[in-house]
Every structure is written in C-alpha cells, then in structure tokens.
Chain A
Amino acid sequence: MESENSEAFPFAVQDVDAMVADSAEKVFSTMLSTAAKPFVAYNHGETPAKCHPRLAPAAEKMMVVGMIGFLGDIKGVIYIYVDEPTSITITSSFLGLDKNSLKDNHETVNDALGELSNMISGTYKNQLCDKGYNCRLTIPSILRANNFTIEPLPGAMHRMYQFEIFDSAMGLELVMIEGD
C-alpha cells in the first residue's frame, strides 16, 4: 500500500521492498550465516499489521541505531536498529567473538553495527546504481537511544521494515527522495 508521500517516487513500493529485503538477506546470510526474514513492511505514519515484540515501542528500551546516507541521483538515509542484546548477538556472530566479551564493549559493537549498516545500505544502493540512479554512500554513524523517532521528510518515500533475525528482530527505515 503506497502512502501519499511515496506516489511521486520513480520506483514502485514493491520494487523497493524487494531490494531492501534482498539486501538484508544477502548480508545476513553471507556475513552471519543466518537469515533475515521479512516480518512486516509499511509506510511511515501507517499502523503496521503486526509488530515484532522485540521492536514494540518501549520508552525505556535502549536501541542501537546504525545510520548511513546515500547521495546522488537519489538521496536518502537508511536506519538500522536493534535492541542492545541483539546488537551483541549480531556482533558476536559477525566477528566470531564471545558474547560475554562484548558486554559493555560499545566500541566494538558500534563498529560492527556500523559496518553491517554499511553493507546493507551498500547492497541496496548498488541496486539503485544498476537501475541507472548513480549515488554514493556516506560514512556510517551510530547512536544509542531510547524512545527515538525518525521524522518524515516532505516528498520523500519513508518505508519501515521489520526483519526476524536470530531469535530477535531488526528494524530498518528507508527515507529517500530523488536528487537535485
């Protein structure tokens, strides 16, 4: 279902969803030997048909968020977020490190989440390039926050996704707009 803010966009929502799902799946299966199974996808502002319990709104729950932008014929930002225990599970699997060694090791976990975001965003962005929309990635950044929201950008497509990973979930938000 397309929202008002995505109607003007050059791709159908289904194509975008497929590209995002493919990117997440490719990165998780290659680097973490596990699946990233699409759970739900919806437009910002809509009420999702379902919500994964690990991503249910909880004001006090600390989330680790990876952000990475892409600039060019299409510009946008991809936000990837997981709760803290999941960020440790991901890092442990990604780098082959013991989970206990990662508790309170924010530097390593942040770096791993940043690289994971870079790979997912890169894979997505490369598909845009292959469709003729040349763009490049920015350097990833990480924040740790609870009760955060990503505000919509006028005229931009803003899709929200949840993926099942390990025994948990990962949220992904894509905000994109045609470049100048």
Chain B
Amino acid sequence: MRLKILTVDDSKAVRMIVRKAFRNFDIDILESSNGVEGLAAASKEGPDIILLDVTMPVMDGVEMLAKLKADALLKPIPVVMLTAEAGKENVLKIAKLGIRDYIVKPFKEEVLVEKVARIIDLKPLSSEGARKKTLKDECTFLVVEDKPAIIKQITDGLSNPNWKVHGVATTGEAIDFCSKKVPDIIIISLSLPDDGASVLFKLLRSQVKTKFTPIFGLSVKTAVAEQQNAQQLGVSTLITKPIDFDDFEVKIAKAINLDTSEKYFSFDADFLCIRLPKNATQTHLNEVSAFMKAKASEAVDNGFLRVIIDVHELTNVNVNIIKLLVDSMATCQELSLKYQLVGSPQVIAECKNFEESRNWTFFESMELARATK
C-alpha cells in the first residue's frame, strides 16, 4: 500500500509546492484547506504523516493539532508543522501539543523531503508508477572523474543524443550538482584521490534525493582491488576502462529500466518492423528476444497482420542469430502474424549454411517486402 502525506494548508500554492516536492516518490498526496477538512481527511484516509499550517480559516492548525492529539486513533499520526509562524512563544506552545518537526516558511523543497524522510520511509517512484523512459527521453548522467579526457570519451562515446553527460572533477562539485538536479545515473571514478569515490558514494546514499540513484563505478580493467571495494560498498554496476560502449549502454538501460525497444522495433503503416543492427551482439539479441512477444502482441492489438524482419545490415550470421529468428517466426505464427524476411545477398548466402534457415525466402529490399502483402 502506498504511503500517504496529508497536507493541510489554506494556500493552494503551498499544496502545489508540496506535491511538486514529492513528485518523484512513491507516495499519495492528500490535501485539505483547513483544520476541519484536515481532521476529516485524517480520520477517513489514515495518512502516514500530516504537514500542517497554522494560520487557516475555519479551524487553524493549532486547534486541529489539539483535536488530533485528543483522539486516540489519530494521535499516533506524526505531524510536521509547515508554517510561517515561528515566534518562539508560539512554537513552544505548538511543540507542547506533540509534533515531530517544525518547518518554517520559506522552505527549500529538499529540506521538506529530508525531514519527511526521517519520519516515513520514502521510496522513489517504481517503474510501474512512472512512465518508463524511452530512448527519446532526455537522461542526465553525472560523471565524477578527475581526468577530463575520460569525461570527453564518455560524452563522445554515448550514441544517444538525448543523453546529456555532465562531468565534474571533485566530490564537492558532484554534491553541488545533485543538490540542484538529480541525475539519472552517477558514474564515479574509483580512482578519485583521498578515497573520494567511497566518501562520495556514502554521502549520496545518505541523502534522500540520491538514495536510490544508480551509481556506476568506473575503473581500469586491471584494478581488481578497487573494484572489489566498490562492490562491497554497494555500487550498482562496474564499468571498466577501456570502455566498451555497447556494454555501457546496455548497463545504462538496465539501471534506469529504459525501454530500448525502439532500437529494434518500429510500427509502419500496416506492419511491425524488426531490425537487427549491423554488428548484432548477444546483448542485442537478448534485448530483441525480451521485447519480441510484447511487440508482436502490440501489433496484433493495433490490427496489424504482418511483420517484416529486416536483417539486411548484418555483417555475419551466427547460430544465435538464427535461433532468435526462428523464435521470432514462431511468435508470429502463434499470433497468426504473417512474416517476411529482408536480407542482403551475403546474409542470404550465410543462411544457407544452417539447417534451420536453408530454405528461408528473403526479399532483397524493404521496398519489395513492403509492396508484397
């Protein structure tokens, strides 16, 4: 069951700011605009925490707090005051009624989140709660590396133009960056001076905003000891130098639960197209295999009757590719989808070398396949 925050404030602006502050967390925000509504919502919904203003019409926050604490059922709900009222005398009076914390307006959203996180177990939105990111969505990667050449290499090496790499050289700069914007992934060089990687990792994990952000360790392939230390710390993934960018991108996709299907699957006017890349590695094949059933079902759902499997770019054909194609054809048959193959003369020739693909019929171009229904 999702946690609930009840915010009781007569200002719609404050309620909007609270909602904004918690937008990346798996939490329901309930709203009331005065103490009477707040008490009713608390009784009905049983929130896990209440954020309470003081000066409100109908019933103010002090009266609501007093009534809440006089009710045996509602008394255990932790209350955090969120108010412009901060005169010592008034604060003491309110504190005596029983509150967990006191936030004075104006306030930073991060402070609000940090204080609430000390009371309830805030979790970031799960992939089910948030729309899955696709390759078209912008992602930000923070690279903490004191060697500018490596930052440049990563910036140049990642193929997706929607992926923005921000490089910093020190842990201080990294913390500063994360306080302003939480990146999708943080990549830390394990060879930062003064055990910087370990210090930074612990700091990031201690902060609510970055508690669940995937952190990659970046290390030279042969630096086994520092890689072991990083794994013991709990670093999500290790990237070794020299960087294999195909592998790096797959790890990125996995870490942020990225929908990479559009790399291989696209819907045309009346067919689903599956396209294998030039140098298809086992990783690519695994990705295609993982998306195959869902995409074929989506095609059926959209009223499509055929699938074109385009392998003309392949530079070589191996047994794993043949196996993937056999499985894909079987999936199409299960769903009564007609399939057509497109291959280059080289691919067609290489397919003759395998028992399963010896008799396959190929179109030599997409245009021909598209025209033949």
Residues of chain A having any CB pair with chain B under 8 Å: 26-27, 30-31, 91, 94-96, 107-108, 111-112, 114-116, 118-119, 121-123, 125-126, 128-130, 134-139
Q: Which of A91, A115, A123, A137 has the most CB of B within 10 A?
A: A115
6 closest Cβ contacts across the A-B interface? Answer: A122-B84, A129-B87, A30-B106, A115-B13, A115-B11, A126-B86
Chosen A-B contacts, 18 in total, with CB atoms closer than 8 Å, are: A30-B107, A94-B13, A96-B20, A107-B12, A111-B11, A112-B13, A118-B55, A118-B105, A119-B106, A122-B104, A122-B105, A126-B104, A129-B89, A129-B90, A134-B87, A136-B87, A137-B55, A139-B10
Q: State how many angstroms separate the Cβ of A121 from the closest Cβ of chain B.
A: 7
**Given pairs A30-B106, A31-B106, A112-B13, 13 additional interface contacts (CB within 8 A):** A31-B17, A107-B12, A108-B12, A111-B13, A114-B11, A115-B11, A119-B84, A122-B85, A126-B85, A129-B86, A136-B55, A137-B84, A138-B55
Q: Contact: B11 with A135, CB < 8 Å?
A: no
Question: How distant is the Cα of A128 from the Cα of B107 in the complex, in angstroms?
Answer: 20
Q: State how many angstroms separate the Cβ of B91 from the closest Cβ of chain A.
A: 9
Residue B317, interface by CB 8 Å? no
Q: Contact: A95 with B13, CB < 8 Å?
A: yes
- Determine the main DSSP class of A at the interface with B: helix
Residues of chain B having any CB pair with chain A under 8 Å: 10-14, 16-17, 20, 55-57, 83-90, 104-108
Residues of B within 8 A of A30 (CB): 106-108
Q: Contact: B55 with A139, CB < 8 Å?
A: yes
Residues of B within 8 A of A123 (CB): 84, 106
Question: How distant is the Cα of A112 from the Cα of B57 in the complex, in angstroms?
Answer: 17
Q: A118-B55, A130-B87 are in contact. Are A26 and B106 (CB under 8 A)?
A: yes
Q: Contact: A134 with B12, CB < 8 Å?
A: no
Q: State how many angstroms separate the Cβ of B10 from the closest Cβ of chain A.
A: 7
Q: Which of A27, A107, A116, A129 has the most CB of B within 10 A?
A: A129
Our count of residue pairs bridging A and B at CB distance below 8 angstroms stands at 76
- Choose from B90, B106, B108 the contact partner of A136 (Cβ within 8 Å): B90
Residues of A within 8 A of B88 (CB): 129-130
Q: State how many angstroms separate the Cβ of B292 from the closest Cβ of chain A.
A: 40
- Choose from A95, A108, A121, A134 the contact partner of B84 (Cβ within 8 Å): A121
Q: State how many angstroms separate the Cβ of A69 from the closest Cβ of chain B.
A: 11
Residues of A within 8 A of B90 (CB): 129, 134, 136
Q: Contact: B16 with A95, CB < 8 Å?
A: yes
Question: How distant is the Cα of A122 from the Cα of B84 in the complex, in angstroms?
Answer: 5
Measured CB to CB, the nearest residue on chain A to B11 is A115
Residues of B within 8 A of A112 (CB): 13
Residues of A within 8 A of B12 (CB): 107-108, 111
Residues of A within 8 A of B57 (CB): 139
Q: State how many angstroms separate the Cβ of A70 from the closest Cβ of chain B.
A: 10
Measured CB to CB, the nearest residue on chain B to A133 is B87
Question: How distant is the Cα of A115 from the Cα of B84 in the complex, in angstroms?
Answer: 10
Measured CB to CB, the nearest residue on chain B to A108 is B12
Q: A95-B13, A95-B20, A111-B12 are in contact. Are A119 and B105 (CB under 8 A)?
A: yes
Q: Contact: A27 with B85, CB < 8 Å?
A: no
Q: Which of A123, A126, A134 has the most CB of B within 10 A?
A: A126
Residues of A within 8 A of B17 (CB): 31, 94-95
Question: How distant is the Cα of A128 from the Cα of B16 in the complex, in angstroms?
Answer: 29
Residues of A within 8 A of B86 (CB): 122, 126, 129
Question: How distant is the Cα of A136 from the Cα of B17 in the complex, in angstroms?
Answer: 24
Measured CB to CB, the nearest residue on chain A to B19 is A95
Measured CB to CB, the nearest residue on chain B to A113 is B13
Residues of A within 8 A of B11 (CB): 111, 114-115, 118
Question: How distant is the Cα of A78 from the Cα of B107 in the complex, in angstroms?
Answer: 21
Q: State how many angstroms separate the Cβ of B15 from the closest Cβ of chain A.
A: 9
Residues of B within 8 A of A96 (CB): 20
Q: State how many angstroms separate the Cβ of B11 from the closest Cβ of chain A.
A: 4
Q: State how many angstroms separate the Cβ of B212 from the closest Cβ of chain A.
A: 22
Measured CB to CB, the nearest residue on chain B to A28 is B106
Question: How distant is the Cα of A111 from the Cα of B12 in the complex, in angstroms?
Answer: 6
